[in-house]
Amino acid sequence: MENRLSVWVSGSGSNLERIIKACQSGEIFASVVLAASDRPGILALERARKHSIPAEVVPPKQFGSAGAYALALLELLKKYRVDLVCLAGYLRKVPDEVVRAYRGRIINIHPALLPKYGGKGLYGRQVHKAVLAAKEKESGVTVHYVDEQYDHGSIILQKKVSILSSDTPEALAERVHQVEYEIYPQAITLVLEKLACR
Ligand code: GRF
């Protein structure tokens, strides 16, 4: 049976678009059955709707407690019978209750070579700025399992990106994004194969 993916987003959703297309072309043996966001009005939700994929917004502030927020996320995953959650630019920490219920079935993509340049507050431009400030020779992309700590779970796939002397955070981000489009579908396939063998 085809696998059911949920992609969680907070921004532009170019990885979401890539994953949707990889599912449509058969590169990934799955369908994106749900896009979920912590905030309304973002481009990623538009992209999902354009592909007729349900796009749900679950803003934490709407719930009286962290527990109620976690429960809402769990209900959503149950409602759409989700097999694997792919975080793609989702800027919030996944509640521990959700991590525990879906251990090994939530993955994230990070625009650097973890364990370096990860953790709370290190996302988007901040990551590339820090990498360049440290005069690193290379950066890259990491896809990893999500656990109870930011950017911490075990690594599924990593690919390096060379740094050029002319690099700005924006230029580096652009090359890193291209590598994300390459390895996220590969990592998803690896995880789905592993889940099928359990
Ligand atoms: C990507 O760089 C990803 O590594 C990070 O957030 C960014 C999302 O980009 N977690 P997009 O919204 O998919 O374009």
Per-position DSSP letters for 60-117, written without gaps between them: GGGSSSHHHHHHHHHHHHHHTT-SEEEESS--SPPPHHHHHHTTTSEEEEESS-TTTT
Residue closest by Cα to atom 10 of ligand 1: 89
| Centroid of ligand 1 to alpha carbon of 172 (angstroms) | 13
The pLDDT assigned to 10 comes to 97
State if residue 12 touches ligand 1 by the CB under 6 angstroms criterion: yes
State if residue 15 touches ligand 1 by the CB under 6 angstroms criterion: yes
Task: Answer yes or no: pTM beyond 0.85.
Answer: yes
Q: Is 50 exposed, middle or buried (0-12, 13-18, 19+ CB in 10 A)?
A: exposed
Which tokens sit at 55?
A: 């796009």
The pLDDT assigned to 115 comes to 97
Residues in the chain, pLDDT under 50: none
The pLDDT assigned to 1 comes to 77
Q: Are strands 138-145 and 106-110 parallel, antiparallel or unpaired?
A: antiparallel
- Which residues, including other chains, have CB under 8 Å from residue 50's CB and lie 6 or more apart? none
The pLDDT assigned to 50 comes to 98
State if residue 185 touches ligand 1 by the CB under 6 angstroms criterion: no
Please list the active-site residues: 110
State if residue 92 touches ligand 1 by the CB under 6 angstroms criterion: no
The pLDDT assigned to 174 comes to 97
Residue closest by Cα to atom 9 of ligand 1: 89
The pLDDT assigned to 197 comes to 81
> What digits encode the pLDDT tens for the residues 154-186?
999 999 999 999 999 999 999 999 999 999 999
